[in-house]
């Protein structure tokens, strides 16, 4: 599933390769995908977008509001550093970019590292359900 670093990379690639170009044909919902969300009826997209010019793409992130100011600052700096590294390497190695290439950021905990040792402490990475998705973490060096 596309998350913030891939959204950033995709928006950048769209702006570099598609901005200013005219839409000639739109095909939406041609393959089933459980993580696709549409605004309105995708069968109407061609009529809405045909002959329009692509302006630009913008990615958006989320908010966290349940920490102290110090915790927020530490978390914010860590997130910015990690996301900057992820985006500068073209996204995660589990997701593809606009051209079908995997990103260069090697994830530390994800679907490919479940039950494998943490890079930091050697304890096994675990998977848990969280808010309709999955989270992956080391129970030793990433305590709740
Ligand atoms: Zn660990």
Distance 116 CA to ligand 1 centre (A): 10
The rounded distance, in Å, linking the Cα atoms of 122 and 141 is 10
Predicted local distance difference test score (pLDDT) of residue 105: 94
pLDDT at 66 over 50: yes
- In Å, how far are 28, 45, 88 from 39, measured between CA atoms? 11, 9, 30
Q: What DSSP character marks residue 7?
A: H
Please give all residues whose CB falls under 5 A of ion ligand 1, grouped by chain where several chains appear.
118, 120-121, 123, 138, 140-141
Distance 81 CA to ligand 1 centre (A): 19
Predicted local distance difference test score (pLDDT) of residue 104: 95
Mean pLDDT for 36-59 is 87
The rounded distance, in Å, linking the Cα atoms of 46 and 63 is 34
Tokens standing for residue 136: 């992956």
Domain boundaries, the chain: 109-144
Q: Are 93 and 107 in contact (CB under 8 A)?
A: yes
More confident of the two residues 70 and 61: 70
pLDDT above 90 as % of the chain: 47
Distance 63 CA to ligand 1 centre (A): 26
pLDDT at 37 over 50: yes
pLDDT in tens, 120-143: 999 999 999 988 888 999 999 887
Distance 124 CA to ligand 1 centre (A): 7
- In Å, how far are 33, 38, 44, 107, 120 from 28, measured between CA atoms? 11, 9, 9, 30, 43
pLDDT in tens, 83-132: 999 999 999 998 999 999 999 999 888 888 999 999 899 999 999 998 88
Mean pLDDT for 73-79 is 89
Q: Are 26 and 46 in contact (CB under 8 A)?
A: yes
Distance 123 CA to ligand 1 centre (A): 5
pTM of the model: 0.56
Predicted local distance difference test score (pLDDT) of residue 144: 62
């Amino acid at each position: 599933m596309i998350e913030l670093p891939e959204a950033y990379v995709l928006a950048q690639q769209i702006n570099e390769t598609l901005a200013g170009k005219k839409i000639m044909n739109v095909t939406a919902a041609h393959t089933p995908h459980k993580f696709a969300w549409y605004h309105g009826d995708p069968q109407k997209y061609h009529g809405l977008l045909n002959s329009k010019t692509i302006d630009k793409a913008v990615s958006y992130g989320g908010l966290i509001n349940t920490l102290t100011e110090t915790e927020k600052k530490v978390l914010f700096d860590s997130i910015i550093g990690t996301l900057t590294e992820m985006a500068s390497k073209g996204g995660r190695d589990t997701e593809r970019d606009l051209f079908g290439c995997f990103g260069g950021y090697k994830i530390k905990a994800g679907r490919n590292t479940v039950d494998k040792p943490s890079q930091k402490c050697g304890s096994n990475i675990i998977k848990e359900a969280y808010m309709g998705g999955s989270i992956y973490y080391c129970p030793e060096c990433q305590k709740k």
